[in-house]
Amino acid sequence: MTEMVFGTTPVRAADPILPRWWRTLDKWALACVFGLFATGILLGLAASVPLAEKNNLPRFYYVQRQAVFGGMGLLVMLVVSMLSPRQIRRIGVLGFAVSFVMIAALPFIGTDFGKGATRWLSLGFVSIQPSEFLKPGFVALCAWFMAASSEVGGPPGKLYSFFAALVVVMLLALQPDFGQASLVLFAWLVMIFVAGAPMALLLGVAGLAVGGGIFAYGASEHFARRINGYLSSEVDPRTQIGYATNAIQEGGFFGVGVGEGSVKWSLPDAHTDFIIAVAAEEYGFVLVMVIIALYCTIVTRSLLRLLRERDIFARIAGTGLACAFGVQALINMGVAVRLLPAKGMTLPFVSYGGSSMIASGIAAGMLLALTRTRPQGELGQILRRGR
């Protein structure tokens, strides 16, 4: 009766790992992730060629690297998706600690690659963007704190998570990376809401965020320039936003044709931050809607499965990961159509970038692990434990 009511899948302890993993996995979400990766390779074949030629590299140099990094990200995703919630919590907290140390070291040993924000650690043969790896670890850490606070005699975990969010947002804003800072703050707000925070606290944090934005506008020329460009009534056609907007308009419903687009020759970040503009120009509104549908499917199915989850950590962490995943995609596409200010954020599993690919694989693997169907226990046992 419990399985009929709550939709759980019975799992026998003696089952081999792989059959048990496959039976309890959200296969639709997994298929959507692979669909996004395949779409990214397809778009990379068009978007990255101009950059490779400009840098005197083989035509498909960046596509090959995207395939390698993407393969690594998908492999990591599959491995992580086999873990239990307790193991997810442990690797998440460890990953947060390592990423936090790397971000704290950025002002001293980081580089900006001429983009005006010190976000990368350059190792010569490869560069790492620690903030990408920080996000899934931050979600796991805060979910652990919040879940602990719900226990009888537990620590003030919600307060601990607030201080963790405050420190992380400040470190990201100092780079400056206001896009990632906003995403981290959003994930925390979603999780604290699910954990049962009072509305007054949510409104207070939202007010602090608005105040911080006003302060950043006056103190950071980088931030002010992007806000002014967004608020301007006219778009300079020679800017990245101008090129992207024109490409989306030119694409229409079915696009101008495979390989016929011109925006990839004008945008320096056509293969990363503005990959959706290449999709809209060459393949039209149809492919853009397919991409949006893939993201919506992952987020919606994950949240629906989490509604049945009784493990507090799994429910809070899974909700934070799902919402952060969807909102990152929303921000990337919103910037391209000028619904949001430019933020320099990748499109998960579609944009080029080693750090983005592998970190997205970690986050997606954690989400798939937390949304796997597990025996939830008899309802009477749950009620007795709550007394």
Average pLDDT over every residue of 241-264: 83
pLDDT given for residue 6 in this prediction = 42
Among 240, 263, 343, which residue's Cα sits nearest to residue 49?
263
Helix (H, G, I), strand (E, B) or coil at 187: helix
Per-residue pLDDT at 260 exceeds 80: no
pLDDT given for residue 382 in this prediction = 44
CB atoms within 10 A of CB 310: 14
In a domain, 158, yes or no: yes
In a domain, 8, yes or no: no
Rounded to two decimals, the pTM is 0.89
**Which residues lie across from 111 on neighbouring strands?**
120
CA distance 119 to 172: 9
In a domain, 151, yes or no: yes
Residues of the domain holding 283:
16-375
How many structural domains is the chain composed of?
1
**Which residues lie across from 127 on neighbouring strands?**
122
* N-terminal to C-terminal alpha carbon distance within the chain: 23
Token pair, residue 332, equals 């990337």
Q: What is the pLDDT of residues 121-157, one digit of tens each?
A: 887 767 889 999 999 999 999 999 999 998 878 889 9
What does the radius of gyration of the chain's CA atoms come to, in whole angstroms? 21
In a domain, 4, yes or no: no
CA distance 146 to 312: 9
Task: Answer yes or no: are the C-beta atoms of 29 and 365 closer than 8 Å.
Answer: no
CA distance 209 to 215: 10
**Which residues lie across from 121 on neighbouring strands?**
128
Model confidence band, residue 286 (pLDDT cutoffs 50, 70, 90): very high
Regarding predicted confidence, which is higher, 102 or 237? Answer: 102
Q: 38-52, 135-149, 313-327 — which is least confidently predicted?
A: 38-52
CA distance 33 to 368: 11
Percent of the chain at pLDDT exceeding 90? 49
